[in-house]
Amino acid sequence: MEQLVAVVLTTALFFITIIFRLFRSYHMCKYKLPPGPHPWPVIGNLNLIGPLPHHSIQELSQRYGPLMSLRFGSTPVVVGSSVDMARFFLKEKDLAFIDRPRTAAGRYATYNYCDMLWAPYGAYWRQGRKLWQVKLLNSRRLVSLEHIRREEVCIMLKDLHDVRGTDVALREHLYMLNINVISRMVLGRKYVVLDEGVTGGLAITSPEEFRWMVDEMFLLNGVLNIGDMIPWLGWLDPQGYVRRMKRLAKMFDRFLEHVLDEHTERRHREGEAFVAKDMVDVLLELADNPNLEVPIQRDGVKGTLTIGPHQRCHGYRRTDHRVGHVGAAEETQGPRQGHRGAGPCRRERLVTEGDILNLPYLQAIVKETMRMHPVAPLLTPRLSREDTSFGGYNIPAGTWVLINVWAIGRDPKVWESPMEFRPERFVGSSVDVKGQDYELLPFGSGRRMCPGIGLGLKMVYLALANLLHAFAWRLPDGMVAEELSMEKYGLTVPRMIPLEAVAEPKLPAHLYSGP
């Protein structure tokens, strides 16, 4: 009987979908959509999208143009793949395209759209954005927490020094640097302890499990989930993504409940003497504020602590993209290039955040890396709130909008020799990554751009500068740089195979002793 009911329901849903599609097709006839490939029934153009969607979409855009129309299942999609289209969507019509699609990732992984990534446009999101800018990630707070970033970089350098001369999985060291900085800044202390294999009494079995949780979070927030695009198939969960999202949500909820309970207990214990020490404390104080336009519930606090804070520094994992290039960059970071790169990086000390302004070639390396390997190559999808038009084409309300910043970074109309890694192109250039130059948008632009850009850049510059200053790097014997370019797709795009490299210390031994 249960099987019969399932068959009847599936059949009914199928016919309802067909009727809906016929109605929508009739409705869409009044629109002149941008050019694009003809969609198949049910699947639309999903058959044209490979395991690396930004590659597939770039190839299609080369055929159909910088403004292209696609259909993912029953979901209409437009793609912008040029500087002009990025400016149109993210600046000129930012408010028209400021919303987010309602996806399973937002529903299950971020407490029903309670974070700043997937939250729909409205009072809750506007309030959250203001709180991040004014309370949580303002410049004064970032400066006050500089000692955390410096101490954790020193710990990473000590760990690398301890394994000097051997093949090092650099990603693991950068990962722990990220996790420890974020944990101390956001949660108040380290919750993952490598040498003891414990996590402060939490029910997480190992640091590897926590690392898996974070990686799974970024993967599942970026996948093309069939249920989001063909709703009548959603209940089947054919890819298994929703099942994984629910499992991950339970694991993160267990962790975050423990964190909130610890902070709440300290607030009650200290009473009137309580002083907020980290972002969780600040969020809990805000949640008790009766004057907020939209109350922040407990799930809202936890939602803000899921994808949000990890997203803000995750991008710097890509700065190690070619050891050969990094090594060459380090060699030219000096007077013979006409830059003041070597001045502040004296051998008797490590690089500080105050030195970065005097390292123009280092900044150029980071920009060039972000041009060729943006962390979120299609940015996070936006949703059209109203009917809009461009160049005689219509973009109906309810359309997903993707900006292929990966393709823009490889556009020969914008960049000379775009497939060559040439940091020199940014030396003396005014082009920056802060959302105002639409040829380079690793953090997005407009009201929805990443609010943690300041923290992210500080982490990138400080970590990379000290890795270059403290060690001479080479690839393991038998490995060539061309083997390092493989990617896997998610909300961010890390390597398919983690980078391994060999580090040889260059500084006096006492500089590797830790904080």
Predicted confidence at residue 388, as pLDDT, reads 96
- pTM value? 0.86
Predicted confidence at residue 199, as pLDDT, reads 45
pLDDT tier at 18, thresholds 50, 70, 90: low
Please write the tens of the pLDDT for every residue from 388-419: 999 999 999 999 999 999 999 999 999 999 99
Question: Above 80 in pLDDT, residue 224?
Answer: yes
pLDDT: which is higher, 202 or 507:
507
Q: Which residues contact 277 (CB under 8 A, 6 or more apart)?
A: 188
7-16, 24-33, 90-99, 480-489: least confidently modelled range: 7-16
Q: How many CB atoms lie within 10 A of CB 420?
A: 10
Predicted confidence at residue 478, as pLDDT, reads 78
Question: Above 50 in pLDDT, residue 260?
Answer: yes
Mean pLDDT across the stretch 106-129?
94
> Does 19 map to a domain?
no
| C-alpha separations of 40 from 48, 73, 373 in Å | 10, 8, 32
Contacts 24+ apart (CB under 8 A), 427-433: 427/337, 427/339, 427/360, 427/361, 427/364, 428/360, 431/367, 432/367, 433/366, 433/367, 433/370, 433/457
Predicted confidence at residue 192, as pLDDT, reads 74
Please write the tens of the pLDDT for every residue from 184-205: 999 898 887 655 444 444 545 5
Question: Above 80 in pLDDT, residue 360?
Answer: yes
Count Cβ neighbours within 10 Å for each residue of 137-162 and write b for 16 or more, e otherwise: beeebbeebeebbbebbbbbbebbbe
Please write the tens of the pLDDT for every residue from 492-501: 776 667 788 9
104-118, 127-141, 315-329, 422-436: least confidently modelled range: 315-329
Question: Above 80 in pLDDT, residue 489?
Answer: no
CATH number of the domain encompassing residue 282: 1.10.630.10
> Does 151 map to a domain?
yes
> Does 3 map to a domain?
no
Alpha-helical regions (H) of 272-359: 279-287, 298-304, 307-314, 323-331
Three-state SS for 288?
A: coil
Predicted confidence at residue 27, as pLDDT, reads 54
pLDDT: which is higher, 27 or 286:
286
> Does 23 map to a domain?
no
> What is the domain range of residue 362?
31-512
Predicted confidence at residue 29, as pLDDT, reads 64
Mean pLDDT across the stretch 234-262?
94
Predicted confidence at residue 19, as pLDDT, reads 59
> Does 484 map to a domain?
yes
Please write the tens of the pLDDT for every residue from 444-478: 999 999 988 999 999 999 999 999 999 999 988 87
pLDDT: which is higher, 16 or 157:
157
Rounded to whole angstroms, the Cα distance separating 234 from 435 reads: 35
3-17, 150-164, 206-220: least confidently modelled range: 3-17
Mean pLDDT across the stretch 203-225?
81
Mean pLDDT across the stretch 281-308?
88
Please write the tens of the pLDDT for every residue from 57-99: 999 999 999 999 999 999 999 999 999 999 999 999 999 999 9
> Does 8 map to a domain?
no
Mean pLDDT across the stretch 434-446?
96
> Does 7 map to a domain?
no
> Does 5 map to a domain?
no
How many structural domains comprise the chain?
A: 1
90-104, 222-236, 474-488: least confidently modelled range: 474-488
Q: Binding residue per annotation — 450?
A: yes
Please write the tens of the pLDDT for every residue from 330-349: 333 533 333 344 445 567 89
What mean pLDDT is reported for the chain? 86
pLDDT: which is higher, 340 or 22:
22
pLDDT tier at 120, thresholds 50, 70, 90: very high
Please write the tens of the pLDDT for every residue from 300-321: 999 988 865 444 444 444 444 4
Predicted confidence at residue 207, as pLDDT, reads 72
pLDDT: which is higher, 9 or 117:
117
Count Cβ neighbours within 10 Å for each residue of 12-28 and write b for 16 or more, e otherwise: eeeeebeeeeeeeeeee
